[in-house]
Structure formats: C-alpha cells, structure tokens
Amino acid sequence: MLLFLLCLPSGGGANEQARRQARAIKENSEKDQDVVENDYESLRVLNIERNGNIIYTYKDDKGNVVFGLYDCQTRQNELLYAFEKDLEVFSCSVNSERTLLAASLIQSTKEGKRNELQPGSKCLTLLVEIHPVNNVKVLKAVDSYIWVQFLYPHVESHPLPENHLLLLISEEKYIEKFRVRVTQEDGNRVVIKNSGHLQRDRIAENFVWAQWDMSEQRLYYIDLKKSKSILKCIQFYADESYNLMFEVPLDISLSNSGFKLVNFGCDYQDQEKLSKHLSLCVFTNHAGSLCVCYSPKCAAWEQITYSVFYIHKGYSKTFTTSLKNVGSHMTKGITFLNLDYYVGVYLPGHFFHLLNVQHPDLICHNLFLTGNNEMIDMLPHSPLQSLSGSLVLDYCSGKLYRAMLSQSSLLQLLQKTRLDCEKMATLHCALSCGHGAQLLEGQIIQWISENVSACHSFDLIQEFIIASSYWSVYSETSNVDKLLPHSSVLTWNTEIPGITLVTEDTALPLMKVHSFKGYWETLNSNLENVKYAKPHFHYNNSVVRREWHNLISEEKTGKRRSTAYVRNILDNAIKVISNLEARNLEPRLTPLLQEEDSHQRLLMGLMVSELRDHFLRHLQGVEKKKIEQMVLDYISKLLDLICHILEASWRKHNLHSWVFHFNSRGSAAEFAVFHIMTRILEATNSLFLPLPPGFHTLHTILGVHCLPLHNLLHCIDSGVLLLTETAVTRLMKDLDNTEKNEKLKFSIIVRLPPLIGQKICRLWDHPMSSNIISRNHVMQLLQNYKKRPRNSMIDKSSFSVEFLPLNYFIEILTDIESTNQALYPFEQHDNVDAKFVEEAALKHTTMLLGL
C-alpha cells in the first residue's frame, strides 16, 4: 500500500576527506527501492532538518565520533565535525548555513557505563563553530537530558543572517529559545558574537509531551491543568517572532505517562519500551486539518484501540480492532503516518488503516486492511518511527524511508477486493492521491467499464463521477470541500468487518491570535464552520431540476418565457462544450457532442447558472472570472468522464459507426454498450446531471438494435429511452416499410411529442403517416369551428367518391380553408388540405378493410 522511497541515498562527498569519513554509506537497489546500509553498527541517523538534509553520526576505526551531513540537493555527504573521544550522541542539529553545530552528548566507557563529564552532570550540550572549526561553547552541563534543534524560518537559502534561533528542550520539562548572533571575520570565518552571554527566552514549561513540526516550524506541547491535558501550539516566524496559536483540551490521560518527545531527532527506542508506551502525535495538512492521533498504553493485545481527534471537525473517533493469532509476547507498537489527506495507522504484521482526514464522516471512506494482506506485506515488519512530514525510520535496520501512497497498489486493491466498503475507500484514496492524473483516471474507468455491477451498496459510476469531478477543482480554493459534494453516498449502515467505531463531540480550540494567514486562516475557517453549526452548503441540483421541468413544460405548451433568458442559458451550454473540447483535443470514438439536443443543453446551461450563483454566495473574495472558470471546469469534467466511460466500453467491444445501420440484429457487443449506457443514465438521473448531447440518440438507436419491440416500447414508456428528433429521423429514413418496421415506426410516432411528431410524420411516406398528419390538420381546423350557413356555390364535381359522410366532412373542411387561408400557411405550404385529408381517409379505410 505504501511506496517507500529512500531519503538517504549514498554518493560521493564534497571532498576526499568527507568521502573517507562517509565511506560507511553505500547504495543497494532492491526491487525499485533504494536501500542504504552501513558497514558500521554505530552509524545512526540523528536528525532531518527542514531543508531535507540528514545529520548522522558514526564512530570511526579509532573510536572517534564523527558528524556527517547528507545534502538532499547535491546528493553528497559532507563531514561536519569529529570528537576525538568515545561519546554517545543522542541529539544534534545544524543551522541552515552549516556554520554552527549543536549537540548533546554523554561520555561512555568501553563497558558502556556512563561517566560524569562534570560533577553532578551527565549531559553536556555544546555549540560548535564549524565554518571553519573554531570554538566550542558549553550551553548546558546538567544531570538531565537536553535535546537541541535549530529553527529554520526560511525554506530557501539566504545570505548569512545575523541571528540563529536554537531550541533547547530539557527533560526537566522546560523549553528555551536561544538567540545566537554570528559574525564573519577574516573572509569566511564565522564566529559567535557575545558567546559569553546568549539571549534566551523561556518558551514553555511544566509540559509532559512535546512535538516538533520541522516543515512548518511549529511546536506542539501538552501541559496538565487539574488533570486535564491541554494541547497548545507555538508558531515560529521568519522575523524571529513566535505566537501561541491555540489551546484545546483533549480527553486523554497523560498524568502517569511520563515525559515524551516526538520529532526532536530520531529516537532509537527499545522495542519492549515501544510496545508498552502510549503513542501521541499531531498531524496537519495544507487544507486546514488538525488531527491528534492517540493510542493508549496497551494492557492486552486481543484488541487494539486508538483515537483520532479531528479538531478541525469538532469530534473524535475511537477505533477498536480485534487481533488474530496474537503471540504471547507482543513487541511492536502502533505507528501513525501523515499521508496528506489520510492518516495511516500501522501495527506491523497485523493491520494497516487509512483514515480519511478531509472527509471522516462515514466509516466507508476509511480503508481497513487486516490480517495476511499482500498490501500490508509491502511494509516493514519491524517497529517504525514516524518523523516530520512523511519520513519513517525503521528501528531495526536503521533505514530511513519516505512514505507515500502508491497508485498502482491502490489500483490492484480496487481490482481484487470484494467488499463494497473497501472499494469505496480505495476509489476515494486513489483519486485523492492522484487527482488530475489522466492515466490513473483512465485505469479506473477501464476497471469500471468491466465491473459496472460490482458494487451493491452504492452506484460505482455515480461515485466515480462525483468524486473525480470534485478533486478536479479541489485545489482551486480552500473552501471547495464545503461547497461541492465529494461523494454520492450520504449514509452508510453496513458494518466494517472487525472494526467498531465510537464518535464523540470534542471541544474546539481557543484561538489565541486574531490575524491569520496561510494554514491558520484555513483552519480557522474550518473551525468557524463547526462553531456556528452552519448547514452543509454542498451543491445539489434540486433548483436546476425544478427550473428545467418548468422550461420543458413551457416548451410543450408554447408559452416559453423571454427568448433572452433561454438564449443566456444556451450560451452557458456553448461555453461548457467549448471548454470541454479544448480539454480534449483527440477525436472521440463515440458520436457524442455532435447534435443540438436542446433539452440537455438547457440542463447544462441551468447547472452553470445555479452553480455559479452558489459559488458567488459562499466564496467571498474570489474573483468572479475565476469562479466562472471553476464552474465550467467542473461541469466539463462531469461530461468528459461520462464520455470516457462510454468510450472505454466502446473501445473494449470494438464498435464502429456501423451501429447506425439497421440491416441486422444487435450483437452482444452492442448490447454490452447499451447496458453500460443504461447504467450511466441511472447514475446521472438520480443526481440530475446533464449528459453529453447525442447520448440519448445513441442510446435509443442501440435500444432499437438490441431489444424486442415490447421491451423497447416499455423502456420508452418508462423513461429509460428518450426519443430525440435525431434518432427518430434516422429510424424513419433508414428503416424500410416491412410489416415489422411499420409497426415499430408507428409505435414510436404515436409516442412522440406533438411538435416533433408533426415533423417526423412528413418524413414517412406511408398511409399511416398520412393519417396522422390528416388528423392533426383536421384537429387544428375544427378547433374553433362554429357552424354557420353553408356556401352552396362549392363545386360538387370535385368530389369523385360517392361516400356521403366523407363528402359532407370534406365540404366543411374546404369551406373553412377557403375562408381562412391566411391562418394555415404551414399546412398549405406542405400540401396538407381537404383533398389530402380525403385521400388519406380513403387509403386508411381501404387498409383497415383489407381491400
């Protein structure tokens, strides 16, 4: 499930000396994974700085402690410093310019016993000038452990600043910030100014747990107030200032948990200790999420319980999973992984869970893999330490990985899994980690076209269309997740095997600052949404549905509102089609988007108008032009996905344009395409989404090919097949007048709306068509007919048939036509008059009598 990419590949050093000192690192590739091994058991990765550089130590052949740095940009190793003593290093950090090294050390003997460096002290914290090697300053010499960390307020390289900020974290439960001023002497020689007195600030004290977020320069810590665990966060800025951002109470007990640090370097803990201690960490992402992951001390291994506090949502979820085949002695602890939109929860050899951070409402949006699963086998089976960002340290091997979701593994799982809940979760996970990737979407579409009926708890086509369209515009603005649905599933009542879940409301953070930027602005927006219990603003097509039905009804009655309004809606549809064609330059396999289909264009245009208004109401501060483009992109994506699903099936069954010819029965391939088109129609109808113009025409023609007449007519009457003017015109022209085809044509004509029916009848040269035309003509003539004295001057000789009732009726029609010629120009132009009615009546009577 995870693709582990090496963060520490080997390579040459900056100079020959660095090469010799870093010879402990070598490169080995195994199955597309770069693996770093060392020849010395003493080699340890101690820290990863914000710029990605890795600090490591090892002991050379003489027992000296060597500090090395791997530059992730140049991919080279560099010697930083060496102590000619046998020391144990447990914390170190280097500034961004590599001029200062801070390290905490403990002196040890060959027997492994620690000797005091100074009376009453066991830990020595040093600040070393290393550019070039100059002075060494003692920061602390105490009888407790001290961890050190330089601040990196700038991501990019800058000229040498005057100040460097250094955090010192003491086992005595306080955190201090040192301001280290440096100056350049004799060219490039860097020395510390006023080394005798470094300015320091007390940042926090009396805490029991702390976590350092290297990438975002944030310090999280928990202090206990009246047995309550209060989580706080300090944000450090580039101008050397810092702020306490928030406080939030957590419903967890840390009173007896001891002192614990997270991400202050790489902590090589004892496995026995690791398995029994609690796990607690904080994860964020750019979308404004704030998650606290907590796993308490475990007394029994039959069940594992852990909690995730979705602070940005205002609730927590506690998951309990049962373990199978648990040995008598468990030595592996839970690891939480930050995977952007997901939190990974891993217990080696037992389970791997992917928890959806952005949309945690439904349990089916989380992926739970347990037992002997080949996806779990891809992960290391040894204890792991989650570091800042997505870095992971393997305790046993000392290997450092970068963890990320593997699209290929997710696709494999999507194809193999049998559970609907896993299909749902895997589909969303794949789309979230690869949104915008056409290759990924194409592979998912190919799978859907072959497994369209694979899910019973939800509509697979519907879910894919909604989720993929959502992710296509998600990055445009941070509030899209509040305005657009990400799933078609509103509730999920099916249990997840082996998982129980309890959801509880939690307190919202108390924000300590009032001016927000970047991540904090997005988080605050999420909190405001929860705080004021705002209703869900997710867009739906209910208004579009009502307005569309109104427009269609007006069209049938001929009382449509102003043409300017309708023209504006159709112009919206033209913009969508143009945007769609611009996104896809390759010719389409299917005959879609090649006809007017005014009804679908009306639906498309109405959706543009309504969605644009929806965004304008709720996206404050976003340019109208940008909103307009977002709307066009979203609706274009909907239509494009429908086209691609159909084309995948079209390509699979190798259909060509000959499906438009009616000289043979439908094949199995045509029936398969007809089936998936029907499923697409079902998926879009329930959500009232537009279809590409031409869809209904193609669907109807395939239906004529594949279905017996009674099934075809049932599909038409039930609304599964919609008769378009293009489709019926094709039928009237291409089908000959055999008895079977006459029955089909008549059955379709009588089901057409009057306006379309009048046009179509004139294309069919048949007595039945003449009869229908005549009936319409007579109905229109007699609609306002009032009996009046007859004109006896009509030439009776024009009636060649002595059939008195018909003669009398024709005489009335002729009289009306002669006195109201200006009222019926259309019929007169089409040669529909009393004479035509007479001939049609006689032909029809003859046909009915079999004469």
DSSP state of 403: E
Return the higher-pLDDT residue of 264 and 86: 264
Neighbours of 270 (CB within 10 A): 12
Tokens of 145: 């452990």
Do residues 250 and 309 make contact, with C-beta atoms less than 8 angstroms apart?
A: yes
Task: Mention every residue, 6+ apart, whose C-beta is less than 8 A from residue 52.
Answer: 7, 72, 73
Return the higher-pLDDT residue of 605 and 42: 605
- Region 96-124: mean pLDDT is 69
The pLDDT, as a whole number, for residue 552 is 86
Neighbours of 112 (CB within 10 A): 7
pLDDT above 90 covers what percent of the chain?
Answer: 33
CA gap 466, 172 in Å, rounded:
53
The pLDDT, as a whole number, for residue 423 is 94
- Structure confidence by residue, pLDDT tens digits, 630-647: 999 999 999 999 999 999
Cis peptide before 693 (omega within 30 of 0): no
DSSP β-bridge partners for residue 730:
none
Span of 186-190, 371-375, 395-399, 832-836 with lowest mean pLDDT: 832-836
Return the higher-pLDDT residue of 394 and 577: 577
- Region 461-468: mean pLDDT is 95
Neighbours of 153 (CB within 10 A): 19
Tokens of 341: 């939109």
Task: Mention every residue, 6+ apart, whose C-beta is less than 8 A from residue 671.
Answer: 706
- Give Cα 492 to chain centroid, integer Å: 19
The pLDDT, as a whole number, for residue 161 is 62
- Structure confidence by residue, pLDDT tens digits, 409-461: 899 899 989 899 999 999 999 999 876 678 889 999 999 998 888 888 899 99
Neighbours of 104 (CB within 10 A): 23
Mean pLDDT, the chain, rounded, equals 80
295 SS3 class: strand
Tokens of 734: 């291409």
pLDDT(344) > 80: yes
Q: What distances in angstroms separate CA 436 from CA 203, 345, 474, 634, one per listed residue?
A: 43, 27, 10, 12
Return the higher-pLDDT residue of 688 and 29: 688
Give the pLDDT band of residue 826 (cuts 50, 70, 90). Answer: very low
- Region 99-103: mean pLDDT is 91
pLDDT(761) > 50: yes
CA gap 214, 745 in Å, rounded:
73
The pLDDT, as a whole number, for residue 476 is 78
Do residues 697 and 597 make contact, with C-beta atoms less than 8 angstroms apart?
A: yes
- Region 54-60: mean pLDDT is 88
Angle at 619 between CA 615 and CA 625, to 5 degrees: 70
Q: Which residues of 427-456 are buried (b: 16+ CB within 10 A; e: fewer)?
A: bbbbbbbbbeeeebbebbbbbbbeebeebe
Angle at 20 between CA 15 and CA 24, to 5 degrees: 125
The pLDDT, as a whole number, for residue 11 is 31
| Amino acid present at 321 | T
Q: Which residues of 64-94 are buried (b: 16+ CB within 10 A; e: fewer)?
A: ebbbbbbbbeeebbbbbbbbeeebebbbbbb
- Structure confidence by residue, pLDDT tens digits, 678-700: 999 999 998 999 999 999 999 99
Give the pLDDT band of residue 269 (cuts 50, 70, 90). Answer: low
- Region 193-197: mean pLDDT is 77
What φ, ψ does residue 702 adopt, rounded to 5°? -65, -35
Span of 296-310, 468-482, 551-565, 638-652 with lowest mean pLDDT: 551-565
DSSP β-bridge partners for residue 85:
none
pLDDT(769) > 70: no
The pLDDT, as a whole number, for residue 253 is 84
CA gap 265, 707 in Å, rounded:
69
> How many helices (H) does the chain have, and how many strands (E)?
23, 34
- Region 160-164: mean pLDDT is 68
Give the DSSP per-residue string, 205-261. ESEEEEEEETTTTEEEEEEEETTEEEEEEEEE-TTS-EEEEEEEEES---TTS--EE
**Element (H or E) spanning 546, and its range?**
helix 542-557
pLDDT(789) > 80: no
The pLDDT, as a whole number, for residue 829 is 44
The pLDDT, as a whole number, for residue 337 is 92
Return the higher-pLDDT residue of 777 and 123: 123
- Structure confidence by residue, pLDDT tens digits, 471-519: 999 887 778 888 999 999 989 988 898 899 999 999 999 999 888 888 9
Tokens of 702: 């395939």
Q: Strand order of the sheet with strand 391-394? A: 2-6, 400-405, 391-394, 384-386
Do residues 436 and 474 make contact, with C-beta atoms less than 8 angstroms apart?
A: no
